[in-house]
Amino acid sequence: MTSHAGRLYALAAVLVVFFLAWATIAAHPWGATAAADPRLKALAVREAQLRQQGKLVQAVVAQRWAAYRARLQARRAEIAVAKARATQLAAAASASSVPAAAASSSVRVVNLPPLTITRTS
C-alpha cells in the first residue's frame, strides 16, 4: 500500500472495528442469561413486604379516621344541644322580672373602711 489515502481508510476501518468490539464487550450480551443477582431478589421481596405493610397501615388509618369523625359528630351534636339549652335559659332569664334576676346574682358588694396612711419618717 503505497497510497496515502488507502492507509487512512484502513486506519479508519481498524478504529471503527476496535470501538465496535469494545462496545460489544462492555455490553456483556452473554451475561444477560445469567442468574439474577440475589440482592435484587431480596430487594424485590422487601418491596413486596413494604407494600403489604403500607396497605395495612392505610386500613388502620382509615378506621381511626372513621372513629374520629363519628366522635366529632357526636361532640358537635352535644355542643349544639348545650348552646340551645343556654339560649333557652337566657331567653327565660330575660323574660323574668329584673329584681328576681338581681337577687339571684352571685355578685357581692363589699364596703371597706377608709384607708389610713401612717408615715414613719
Number of domains in the chain: 2
Same domain for 67 and 42? yes
Same domain for 53 and 7? no
| Cα–Cα distance, 44 to 39 (Å, whole number) | 9
Host domain of residue 63: 37-91
Assess if residue 74 is contained within a domain. Answer: yes
What is the model's pLDDT at position 108? 80
Assess if residue 50 is contained within a domain. Answer: yes
Same domain for 45 and 17? no
| Cα–Cα distance, 4 to 11 (Å, whole number) | 11
Written as nine digits, the cell of 23 is 462496545
Same domain for 71 and 42? yes
SS3 call for 107: coil
What is the model's pLDDT at position 49? 97
pTM of the model: 0.43
Q: What are the residue ranges in the chain where pLDDT is below 50?
A: 101
Assess if residue 70 is contained within a domain. Answer: yes
